[in-house]
Amino acid sequence: MKIVAADNVWILTSTALVLLMSVPALAIFYGGLTKTKSILNTMMMVIVAFCITSFLWLLFGYSLAFGSDLGGVIGSLEYLFLNGINPSDPAPAAENLYHYLFIFFQMTFAAITVALMAGAFVERMKFGAWMAISALWAILVYFPVAHWIWGGGFLSDWGVLDFAGGLVVHETSGVSALVGAILLGARKENVMQPSNLPLVGIGTGLLWFGWFGFNGGSALAMNAQAVSAAFVTTVAAFVGGFVWMVLEWIKFKKPTSLGLFTGVIAGLATITPASGFVDIFGAVLIGTIAALVCFWAVVSLKQRFGYDDSLDVFGVHGVGGMTGALLLALFAKPEVADVKGLFFGGGLGQLGSQLAGILVVGLYSLLMTVLIFKVVDRFMGLRVDRDAEIEGLDEAIHGERAYLKEY
């Protein structure tokens, strides 16, 4: 296959859109949800994770994820330090694209996945500990799992499908966020006090906009699948937001902006693994189910077990990603991408593959996160002291304030 100019234009645009999702969208979204006295620390956690992961991606992460397969488990180090790659070379995994562009596009996925976890640990984690966790988690969790599913590893051989990251991005970060939050312990002031809901709204809009590149770009070409993926992503997002708002209105008697914004993100996360395989009808169902399941996880499951996942990374991204990966096996329509879901003439085989993928990725993420947190806690400690937490991490760690007025 030859390099296709239109495909490269679209994927370069998609890369910029996914970059926008982290810097500034996720930083703004998380920052607005955080207490005023720790907003800058929260935003820095997102951006520093992006920086660290991106650097590791260039050194050896890309090679581990997309290098020649070694036993189905990890990629070789043939691209160590991007050795031997010329800007004009075609990408082995997508020969219509320049190799540099494919590396760049996938780098933004790796970086935002690590950054997503930060939302579970805000307002109480040492900044240095977070930096160490970001590096170790990228190496031990993201790079291998990306290879298993997208790089020719054993889960792809099992038939596991994940169009844009329901398992590779959302399940890994969501499960690890839950485990890390439990190991880290609850905040001293364990209450949601968003510093700036208008910022959360802006962050939601920017994330939604960036998701066109996240899901649409995962077609790796400018084709009908890319258009369909972007279209169904938007449908699932507005359906998820509306249904969440209605559920909140029924249960709490008031529809809130925070509920609407959260439902949009739940719809986006849940459609992600299925976006390249389902039609508009499937997107409406997935958006509705996303709101129902993620609302339950955030409102009921979290309260029942009492864990302090500060910004609901597990409840929205983890639960949403796993749910979407399962719904793919039900609603995939062969006219979209030649994959038959159970409701369109497929058997139970794809459902079995998706369940296997969810279990393997979830268990691996859990075990590796426990190991990483224990090691970092042993050598650095995970939490700031009580006084720093009460004072706020902006001043205690960074010597800054988000706003000039008193808190």
Q: Is the dihedral of CA 77, 81, 85, 87 positive or negative?
A: positive
**In terms of Cα–Cα distance, which of 9, 359, 339, 318 is closest to 165?**
318
Distance CA 66, CA 79 (A): 9
Phi, psi of 125 (to 5 degrees): -95, 140
404 lies in some domain: no
The count of C-alpha atoms lying within 13 angstroms of the C-alpha of 308, restricted to the half-sphere facing its C-beta, is: 15
407 lies in some domain: no
406 lies in some domain: no
How many residues belong to the chain? 407
127 lies in some domain: yes
- Answer for the pair 377, 130: CB distance below 8 angstroms, yes or no: no
Q: What is the DSSP string of 291-316?
A: HHHHHHIIIIIHHHHT---TT-HIII
405 lies in some domain: no
Q: What is the DSSP string of 333-357?
A: -HHHHS---GGGT--SHHHHHHHHH
The structure tokens 């290879």 sit at 147
- Two tokens at 303? 């309260």
Q: What is the number of domains present in the chain?
A: 1
Cis peptide before 24 (omega within 30 of 0): yes
164 lies in some domain: yes
Burial class (CB in 10 A: 0-12, 13-18, 19+), 193: exposed
CATH number of the domain encompassing residue 330: 1.10.3430.10
The parent domain of residue 153 ranges over: 5-398
Phi, psi of 98 (to 5 degrees): -65, 145
Give CA separation, 69 vs 61, 108, 155, 240, 242, in Å. Answer: 14, 22, 12, 38, 43
Phi, psi of 222 (to 5 degrees): -95, 90
Per residue of the chain (407 residues), what is the pLDDT tens digit?
A: 799 999 999 999 999 999 999 999 999 999 999 999 999 999 999 999 999 999 999 999 999 999 999 999 999 999 999 999 999 999 999 999 999 999 999 999 999 999 999 999 999 999 999 999 999 999 999 999 999 999 999 999 999 999 999 999 999 999 999 999 999 999 998 888 899 999 999 999 999 999 999 999 999 999 999 999 999 999 999 999 999 999 999 999 999 999 999 999 999 999 999 999 999 999 999 999 999 999 999 999 999 999 999 999 999 999 999 999 999 999 999 999 999 999 999 989 999 999 999 999 999 999 999 999 999 999 999 999 999 999 999 999 999 999 876 54
Contacts 24+ apart (CB under 8 A), 396-400: 397/41, 397/126, 397/127, 398/40, 398/41, 398/44, 398/127, 400/40
Residues 6+ away with beta carbon under 8 Å from 303: none
pTM, rounded to two decimals: 0.97
- Answer for the pair 38, 122: CB distance below 8 angstroms, yes or no: yes
181 lies in some domain: yes
235 lies in some domain: yes
